Amino acid sequence: MFEKYSALATAALRDEPISQSDAEWILDGEDLSLLSLLQAAAEPRLKYFGKKVMIQVLNNVQSGRCAEDCGYCSQRKDSKVPIESYPMKAEEEILHEAEKAAKAGASRYCMVLSGRGPGLDRTRQLAGTIKRVKQEYGIEVCLSAGLIDDERAAILAEAGLDRLNHNLNTSEAHYDRICSTHSYADRIATIETAKRHGLESCSGLIVGMGECSQDIIEVAYRLRELEVPSIPANFLIPIDGNPITSDGSLTPERCLRVLCLLRLINPRAEIRAAAGREGHLRGLECLALWPANSIFVEGYLTTQGDGIAATYRKIQDAGFEVAGDVQIDLEEGTTAEASQTGAGYSLPDQEGDSILRPELRS
């Protein structure tokens, strides 16, 4: 049996795709040893990223009021979930939050806008903001703004955007069950457009939305085909009131198997343990750092998550290192409370010092 894990690691170290049957075994094999799988996934992780952990901070610069109907999202059309909706934040506010993220050691600042995609004027406005963030704080910028065509991609590339995020979310076969207002092909086209214009893409998935293992495997291979260098793995945070809440599949072990699968199919990619890591991985959370080399802090688009100090402490405790120049007092408080989340999901109940996402602090 030991040879099987060793063979998986060896294939990943050579950047060779693992077989379909191995992928199925990783997700569902009953005789699988989780610790041995984590060890195999850690080999390419350590080869390409050492023990460094990249920290990402999301800033929801425009929230709600979306005309799309993604079933997992509280910002979709006709949503009754009580989130804070607002138009695009003023540039000075975005810059201020970028500065705080840079000082807290974030290697990348991720600006997220709700909506199907930006108009041309909004794209030019974003381009101006991206230039200022990069010039004034020297931090890399990722933008998630929906569907992008050639004209918009050219504007963003000229502004120096480092990465464009657009998640595939699930497999092509499962996509119709989570969204009807745009297609899987639209999503693939945006990733390919970004690539044509020299923008790196960031694209990942959400698990726990009623998909089967084959859906997860298919999207993992699709991301490899698209040569995506950054893959966020989101674990569905069940929000009361959303059409898609929880399929009950997300045990801590299932989450770790998914992260290992992504690492072994995409060994060179940055694998990010993203939304829901806190509530779904629970006591096994630090083990996510064996396959993943990046995590998000300070919450997600409309939900709270671990604060930066609590996250840094977990990274240290697990024997990993935060990448970049950290300027934060780890003796300060930690995290914020969960809100709006549905059954089976909770965050640590600790006093908060979260400093970067004031819109999630109410």
Contacts of residue 301, defined as CB under 8 A and 6 or more positions apart, other chains included, come to 58, 60, 63, 73, 74, 75, 112, 114, 275
Phi, psi of 293 (to 5 degrees): -115, 15
**Contact between 294 and ligand SF4 per CB under 6 A:** no
- Tell me the closest approach of the beta carbon of residue 266 to ligand SF4, in angstroms: 23
Cα–Cα distance between 150 and 304 in angstroms, integer?
Answer: 34
**Contact between 165 and ligand SF4 per CB under 6 A:** no
Q: Are strands 163-165 and 294-297 parallel, antiparallel or unpaired?
A: unpaired
**Contact between 146 and ligand SF4 per CB under 6 A:** yes
Options 67-75, 130-138, 220-228, 261-269: segment touching ligand SF4 (CB under 6 A): 67-75
**Contact between 274 and ligand SF4 per CB under 6 A:** no
- At what angle are helices 34-49 and 252-265 packed, to 10 degrees? 40
- Tell me the closest approach of the beta carbon of residue 32 to ligand SF4, in angstroms: 33
| 206 DSSP β-pair partners | 234
CB 65 within 8 A of CB 75: yes
Helix (H, G, I), strand (E, B) or coil at 311: helix
- Tell me the closest approach of the beta carbon of residue 17 to ligand SF4, in angstroms: 29
Query: Distances in Å between the alpha carbon of 76 and those of 11, 115, 116, 203, 350?
Result: 41, 8, 10, 20, 30
Query: Distances in Å between the alpha carbon of 75 and those of 63, 114, 173, 238?
Result: 7, 7, 24, 14
Among 43, 68, 140, 278, binds ligand SF4 (CB under 6 A): 68
Taking residue 198's Cβ as centre, other Cβ atoms within 10 Å add up to: 11
**Contact between 76 and ligand SF4 per CB under 6 A:** yes
Nearer to ligand SF4, 198 or 243 (CB): 243
Nearer to ligand SF4, 60 or 334 (CB): 60
- Give the total residue count for the chain: 362
Nearer to ligand SF4, 146 or 208 (CB): 146
Q: How many CA atoms lie within 13 A of 361 on its CB side?
A: 13
- Tell me the closest approach of the beta carbon of residue 204 to ligand SF4, in angstroms: 13
Among 60, 75, 201, 213, binds ligand SF4 (CB under 6 A): 75
Nearer to ligand SF4, 66 or 220 (CB): 66
Look at the block and give the residue holding tokens 């041995």. Answer: 36
Q: Name residues contacting ligand SF4, limited to 99-118 (CB under 6 A).
A: 114-116
Among 73, 139, 159, 310, binds ligand SF4 (CB under 6 A): 73
Nearer to ligand SF4, 76 or 163 (CB): 76
Q: Name residues contacting ligand SF4, limited to 27-66 (CB under 6 A).
A: 66
Among 70, 127, 309, 323, binds ligand SF4 (CB under 6 A): 70
- Tell me the closest approach of the beta carbon of residue 113 to ligand SF4, in angstroms: 8
Contact set with ligand SF4 (CB under 6 A): 66, 68, 70, 73, 75-76, 114-116, 146
